[in-house]
Amino acid sequence: MKILLFLLLASVPALAADDGIPKHPRDLKYPALNYEPPQASGYRHKLASGATAYMVEDHELPLVNIVVLVRTGKYLEPEGKVGLTSLVGSQMRSGGTKTKPPAVFDEEAAYLAAQMSSAIADTMGEARMNCLTRTLDSCMALFFDMLQNPGFAEDRLKLAKTQALQGMQRRNDATMEIERREFARLLRGPNFFTVKPITKASLESITREDLAAFHSRYYYPSNFIFAVSGDFHNKEMMAKLDKAMAGWQNGTEKVPEVPKPGFALKPGIYIVDKKDVNQGRVSMGHLGTTFDNPDHLALEVMNGILGGGGFTSRIMSRVRSDEGLAYSAGSQFSIGRYYDGVFMAGFQSKSPTVAQAVSIVREEIDRIRTDKVKPDELSTEINSSVEALSRRFATAGQKAMQFASDDYNKMPADYWQTYRDRIKALTADDILRVAKKYLQPDKLVTVVVGDANTILKGNPDKPQYQLSKFGNIERIPLPDPLTMVYPKAQAAE
C-alpha cells in the first residue's frame, strides 16, 4: 500500500509538467485581441421626418430601447432664466401631456411596465424609453406624445421648483459639491453657462410658458438622433418611427453653436473654510484641449499613467499605497467636444496631511514632464486602452448609443476603426512631449475645501510641507445659497 501511494505521489509533478498549466500566473499567455469595431454606416437610417436613427437588432430578450438625442442644452437658456432647461427636461416626463394629466400618464406607463425619462444637460437633451416588445406600439404612442406634446402641468412644475429651492438651500453643506463648484468657477469664470448657478430669483422667474416656448423651439424631428436597440426588425421600426412623427413640423432656425469661454484663469491656492469636517478635499488643475487636437490620444494615455489608471497609476501609488495619505487619488484629462476640456488631479486627505499630498501630486506632474515613462507603464496603459475598445460595442444598446453620440458630436467616420493603430503607435517620446506641452504647473488652480486653519498649519511632524510654498493663498467665502452672492474674498494668513 505504501509503495502504491509513493508511486502515485511521485507521478504528480510529471503530470503537472505535461498538462500545459503555467507554474505561476505571471507565466500566463493570452492571444492578441483581434477586434474590429463595427461601422456606423451599416446601422444608419434617415427617416422621412428628417430625423436620423441608428438601429441595432437584438432578439435575445423581448425588450426594446429607444434613446433620442436632442440638439439643445443649457447653453441656450435665455438671460435671467438659469434653471429653465433643467425644468424642461424633468417636466417633459413628470408634467403629463396636453391630453393626459400627470397621474394618468404615470398610470399608463406603469401599466405597460415602460420606463421613460427625459433630461437636458449642458450641450445635449435626451429622452429614453424601455419596454416589452409586445407593448411596443402602445409605449411608443405614449413616449412620442411626451416628446411632442408635453403638458408641463402647473402643480408638478410648482413641486419641482419647491424641491429645487430646497436643494439650493443645502448647496453649501457637502464639501464635494463646494469643491466641484468652486473649481469650475475658477477655471471657466462665473458667467460661463456650465458654471452660472441657478438662484432663487431665476427659479421664480421661470413660468410654464417659458418651458413650452423652449420645447417648441428645439424639439422637432430633424433635431433628433435616435439610438434604437432590441427585439424588432429594421423595416418595421422605421415605419413605426415615421408614423410616430408624421405631421410634426420641423423648425426653420438653425440651432446656435455652443459658445466658448473667454475667461483667463488666475493660478493659485484657493481655500474654502468648512470647520465641521476633518478632511480636506482638493482639486488642482487647468484647462486642457479638444478632440480636434491630434495629441488627444497621447494625452489620454499620459493621464492614465499619471493618475487615471487606478491602482497602476503613479498618483494613486504614491499618495495612497506608499504614503497612506488618501483612500483614493488620481487625475483626469478630459478632452472637450466644443471647448477646451480640463486637466484635474484630486484627492481627499486628513486636514494636517493635505499639504503633503499636494506636494506629492505636484512632484508626479513634474516627473512625467521631465522623465520618459517606463516601457511597462506605457504598454500597460496602451493595452488597457486597446482592450477596452470592444466594451464600447459589447451590447446592441451600447452600439446604437455609440453611433448616435458620435453622430451628434460629429466624430470622424473612421475614428474607432483607426483608434487601435493610433494608440499602439504611441511611444515614450510622445508621452514626454505632450506632458511637457499640456501639463502646466505654473497655471495650476488648486482648490482646497476643509478646516482651513488646521490645513494651513500642516503636519507638525513634517513642517516642510506647507501650502504656502506653492503660491499665494486666497480664502473663498461661502456664498449665500439662494442668491449665490459671495462676500468679499480675503487673503489667507
Q: Clarify whether residues 196 and 60 are in a common domain.
A: yes
Looking at the domain assignment, is residue 255 inside a domain? Answer: no
Q: Which of 195, 210, 244 is the last residue of a domain?
A: 244
Closest alpha carbon to 284 in 322, 340, 331, 324: 331
Spatial contact of 387 and 30, defined as CB atoms under 8 Å apart: no
Q: Clarify whether residues 339 and 194 are in a common domain.
A: no
N residues, the chain = 493
The DSSP output letter for 449 is: E
Q: Clarify whether residues 214 and 73 are in a common domain.
A: yes
State the Cα–Cα distance between residues 448 and 347, nearest whole angstrom.
10
- The rounded Cα 40 to chain-centroid distance in angstroms is 23
Q: Clarify whether residues 355 and 476 are in a common domain.
A: yes
Q: Clarify whether residues 233 and 93 are in a common domain.
A: yes
Closest alpha carbon to 272 in 459, 471, 456: 456
The owner of cell 448616435 is 404
Q: Clarify whether residues 337 and 461 are in a common domain.
A: yes
- Helical (H) or strand (E) element with 20: none
pLDDT of residue 241: 98
Q: Clarify whether residues 196 and 342 are in a common domain.
A: no
Spatial contact of 340 and 450, defined as CB atoms under 8 Å apart: no
The owner of cell 441656450 is 76
**Cell numbers standing for residue 197:** 448657478
Q: Clarify whether residues 151 and 296 are in a common domain.
A: no
State the distance between the two ends of the chain, measured CA to CA, in whole angstroms: 84
Question: Biggest alpha carbon distance in the chain?
Answer: 94
Instruction: Show Cβ contacts of residue 34 under 8 Å, excluding neighbours closer than 6 positions.
Output: none
User: Tens digits of per-residue pLDDT, 406-440?
Assistant: 999 999 999 999 999 999 999 999 999 999 999 99
Number of domains in the chain: 2
Looking at the domain assignment, is residue 239 inside a domain? Answer: yes
Q: What sign does the CA torsion over 148, 195, 338, 414 have?
A: negative
The DSSP output letter for 150 is: B
How many separate helices (H) and strands (E) can be counted in the chain?
17, 15
Spatial contact of 139 and 129, defined as CB atoms under 8 Å apart: yes
**Cell numbers standing for residue 273:** 473654510
- Helical (H) or strand (E) element with 271: strand 268-273
309 three-state secondary structure: coil
Cβ neighbour number for residue 452 with a 10 Å cutoff: 22
Looking at the domain assignment, is residue 9 inside a domain? Answer: no
> What CATH code is carried by the domain that includes residue 378?
3.30.830.10
Q: Which of 187, 209, 244 is the last residue of a domain?
A: 244
Q: Clarify whether residues 199 and 330 are in a common domain.
A: no
User: Tens digits of per-residue pLDDT, 304-357?
Assistant: 999 999 999 999 999 999 999 999 999 999 999 999 999 999 999 999 999 999
- Helical (H) or strand (E) element with 476: none
State the Cα–Cα distance between residues 465 and 447, nearest whole angstrom.
17
Closest alpha carbon to 174 in 321, 243, 266, 274: 274
Output Rg (C-alpha) for the chain, integer angstroms: 27
Q: Clarify whether residues 284 and 228 are in a common domain.
A: no
Looking at the domain assignment, is residue 288 inside a domain? Answer: yes
Looking at the domain assignment, is residue 149 inside a domain? Answer: yes
Neighbouring-strand partners of residue 329: 347
Amino acid 36 reads E
Look up the domain containing 167 and give its range: 40-244
Looking at the domain assignment, is residue 231 inside a domain? Answer: yes
Looking at the domain assignment, is residue 406 inside a domain? Answer: no
CA distances for 20 relative to 15, 17, 31, 474, angstroms:
9, 7, 15, 64
Spatial contact of 64 and 140, defined as CB atoms under 8 Å apart: no
Q: Clarify whether residues 202 and 56 are in a common domain.
A: yes
Cβ neighbour number for residue 171 with a 10 Å cutoff: 17
Looking at the domain assignment, is residue 395 inside a domain? Answer: no
Q: How many CA atoms lie within 13 A of 341 on its CB side?
A: 18
Q: Clarify whether residues 299 and 233 are in a common domain.
A: no
**Cell numbers standing for residue 292:** 480636434
**Cell numbers standing for residue 219:** 424639439
Cβ neighbour number for residue 339 with a 10 Å cutoff: 17
* List of the chain residues with pLDDT < 50: 1-17, 491-493
Q: CB pairs under 8 A, 24+ apart, for 164-169?
A: 164/83, 164/86, 164/87, 164/198, 164/203, 165/200, 165/203, 165/482, 168/198, 168/199, 168/200, 168/203, 168/481, 168/482, 169/481, 169/482
